[in-house]
Amino acid sequence: MTTYKNNDTGSRAPGSRKRRLARLVLYTLATLGLKRVASKCNVLSVSVTCPLALLVCAFASVSEAQVPLIRSGAGIDGPAIQATVDQFRADLGTRREINWDGVPDNLAVPNFLPGVFFNSRGAFFSTPGTGVQVSADSSNPTGTAVRFGHINATYPGIFKTFSAERLFSPIGSAIVDLTFFVPGTNIPAVVKGFGAVYADADELNATTFEYFDILGNSLGKFPIPASNNGLSFLGVSFDSSIVRRVRIVYGNSALGPNDGNGTDVAVMDDFIYGEPQAVPEMSIRVAQVEVCWQSTSNLTYQVQYRSELTANLWTSLVDCFRSTGPKSCISDPVLEGQPQKFYRIVLTNCVLPP
């Protein structure tokens, strides 16, 4: 595969564009609430739900404010952008690439490419349109026109290739979502960055990449440099692997109409992205629940619990507890697999054993 590049230098987004790229989300499976219940025996009701008593950390990125490194360039042909592409490859280090030329004829135009075809490289493609297609090559058995000429006869004249000779595009839409997985699996993954080559991106800001983290937060939307009837490249990378998905916008129109007079149709060639890394998961074990309530010094209380609110059978956890101040607390060890518990505190005249 031949690669090309521009002498355009990389740039960091301005400091004002620093983004909060890391969020720690804890899905709490143990929730504790305390409320006073009207009762002549002055009962405090505490509910604690702790199936498996785990707090699951959905995702924690290590960066608080990563600044994207941007490589972009445009030119009339492949050699004009080769230096930019090569620099982006160096930014990524370990990486994966897709150049479409290995797609077999039976999965290229006029047929649709399955979204999972490149699962072995950790890439999944989806679109709100009809599907995605890879253009025919010059030796295809159906005699289909190359470079999407089967859709519009003018396209082979405006769409150039970066690595001959197949190209890639959504059909029935100008949008593709690229989502990353650990190669060969369905395990969610993140990458350090993504870049690609566009053919015939004409209108400024009509063709873009938008990057998203594992929580669906946007990491930024970046326009592709324009190059009428030429090639453009954009690559954005981060300090660490935080990109879960990339939304790719191809001009302002799906393939079909003639290009020009405000209508911008564009297709893509090589995709380059960091090696997909499994999304880190973390679990936190809750060792105990602490139940606290407002109390009166020297009064005695009983701590009770039950597993279902619909039943009225309470079990004693602490038979008799004498308060020594305005706040009292007891601890209840949590065992993995035990059912949920709802607690209440009952004011009693119990007698502590000698």
CATH assignment of the domain containing 300 = 2.60.40
What is the model's pLDDT at position 260? 86
Tell me if 276 sits within 8 A of 189, measured CB to CB: yes
Domain boundary among 217, 246, 278: 278
- Closest Cα partner for 329 from 291, 273, 286? 291
107 lies in the same domain as 146? yes
Task: Report yes or no on 354 lying in a domain.
Answer: no
Residues 161 and 252 in one domain: yes
- Give residue 40's domain range: 32-59+287-348
pLDDT category at 262 given cuts 50, 70, 90 is confident
Q: Residue 15: inside a domain, yes or no?
A: no
Question: Which of 278, 312, 330 delimits the end of a domain?
Answer: 278
Do the beta carbons of residue 330 and residue 290 sit within 8 Å? yes
Claim to verify: residue 209 and residue 85 sit in the same structural domain: yes
Mapped onto helix, strand or coil, the DSSP state of residue 289 is strand
- 8 A C-beta contact, residue 196 and residue 268: yes
Domain of residue 103, CATH code: 2.60.120
The total number of structural domains in the chain stands at: 2
Residues 305 and 178 in one domain: no
Above 70 in pLDDT, residue 140? yes
Q: How confident is the model at residue 13 (pLDDT cuts 50, 70, 90)?
A: low
Other CB atoms within a 10 A radius of the CB of residue 353 amount to: 6
> Is 128 among the domain residues?
yes
- Given a cut of 60, whether residue 20 has pLDDT beyond it is no
Final residue in a domain of this structure, among 278, 302, 328: 278
Residues 230, 327 within the same domain: no
- pTM here is 0.67
User: Does pLDDT of 25 surpass 70?
Assistant: no
The overall average pLDDT reported for the chain is: 83
The answer on 169 and 78 residing in a single domain is: yes
